Amino acid sequence: MKKQIALFSVFAPLTAAAQNDGMMYGNEKMNVVIGVITIIFIGLGAYLFSLDRKIKKLEDEK
Amino acid sequence: MKGLPYKIAGLLLILFSLTYGLWSEVPELPIIEQSIRNLFYHVSMWFAMVAMMAASFGNAIGFLSSEDMARDRRSISLAETGMFFSVLGLLTGMLWAKFTWGAWWTNDPKLNGTAITMLIYLAYFVLRNSIDDPRKRARISGVYNIFAFVMMIVFIGILPRMTDSLHPGNGGNPGFNSYDLDNRLRLVFYPAVLGWILVGTWIASLRYRIRNLEE
């Protein structure tokens, strides 16, 4: 449960930015694209970390 | 997790180039226009590839002088990661070329040199797969790796600079550093290169560790 809360708190600044007519509307909404790229890249990074951890587990078993 | 600082640093540096690289001011150039930002993404693929191949070359020499099989596993893992970056570099370069030079592929010496380099490294993988005895494989492919690396330097580092080339900094063309600025570009480009090299090292280390497990 704690993990899920932590996950949602990542999006808090994004939702805040969406609500106050601010940052995400700037730059002809280019910032939205940059946000999408950021999310995808963070996802890829997290995937690399999970692979790393899986391999670590196998190494420990050996 | 071992090496956590460099893994996080690598990811953050790339993230910086992905975000700030789109926000930042770039020099206004004819024809290239906004696509100059590809410098941050396309060119860093090649820098990462050369770094991976150089490390692979270093480990090949390390194996040949020490007969340490772990060095051979490092060498092949790095070469595979370098190959991955070169495929990305080639595809992104083709897209950029289409909208800058007007064709997906030109007879630019750098393009053809890169294609030859990739074939040389493909032969390295084929060579490895064709030898069953691990020690023999390590020794023969270690020697071949030295040849491949030297050929790469010749084909993408030297020959394109000696003839006409569409690439900046080659064949009498001005390098990127002569385009007015260009500390604005450097500010994103260097972190991007460093970031990709760090993440490339990480990916290669994952491949290496899987190889260790397979032993």
Q: Which residue has the higher pLDDT, A27 or B20?
A: B20
| Total domains present in chain A | 1
Place of tokens 């494989």: B137
d(CA B119, CA B127): 12
CB neighbours of residue B54 within 10 Å: 15
Task: Tell me the pLDDT tens digit for each residue of B39-60.
Answer: 999 999 999 999 999 999 999 9
Best mutation target among B2, B18, B188 (most A Cβ atoms within 10 Å) is B18
Chain A residues bordering chain B (beta-carbon distance below 8 Å):
27, 30, 33-34, 37-38, 41-42, 45, 48-49, 51-53, 55-56, 58-59, 62
B67-76 burial, b for 16+ CB within 10 Å, e for fewer?
eeeebbbbbb
Query: What backbone torsions phi and psi does residue B95 show, to the nearest 5 degrees?
Result: -65, -45
The per-residue pLDDT for B185 is 86
Amino acid identity, position A48: L
The H or E element containing residue B191 is helix B183-214
- At B77-125, the pLDDT tens digits run 999 999 999 999 999 999 999 999 999 999 988 999 999 999 999 999 9
With beta carbons less than 8 A apart as the criterion, state whether B166 and B114 touch: no
Confidence of residue B30 (pLDDT cuts 50, 70, 90): confident
How does pLDDT run across A27-43, given as a tens digit for each residue?
A: 778 888 889 999 999 99
Task: Read off the tokens for B127.
Answer: 């060579």
Instruction: Name the domain count of chain B.
Output: 1
DSSP class of A29: G
Number of Cβ pairs closer than 8 Å across A and B?
45
Question: Within the 84-143 window of chain B, which residues sit less than 8 Å (CB to CB) from chain A?
Answer: none
Task: For residue B141, give the amino acid letter.
Answer: S
What ipTM goes with this model? Answer: 0.81
- State CA B113 to chain mean position distance: 14
Question: Strand ranges (DSSP E) for B102-200?
Answer: none
B169 burial class (0-12, 13-18, 19+ CB within 10 angstroms)?
A: middle
- Tens of pLDDT, residue by residue over A6-21, are 555 555 555 555 555 6
DSSP state of B153: I
Contacts of A32 (CB under 8 A, 6+ apart): A24
Mean pLDDT of B129-145: 96
> For position B180, what pLDDT does the model report?
46
Structural domain span for residue A17:
2-61
Q: Which two tokens stand for residue B110?
A: 């750098």
Q: Which domain holds residue B134?
A: 4-214
Whole-number pLDDT of residue B74: 97
Alpha-helix residue ranges (DSSP H) falling in B67-182: 69-98, 109-129, 134-152, 159-162
Backbone phi, psi, residue A49, to 5°:
-60, -40
Helices marked H in A1-62: 2-19, 30-61
Tokens for B40, please give them.
């941050």
Residue B7 and residue A52: Cβ atoms within 8 Å? yes
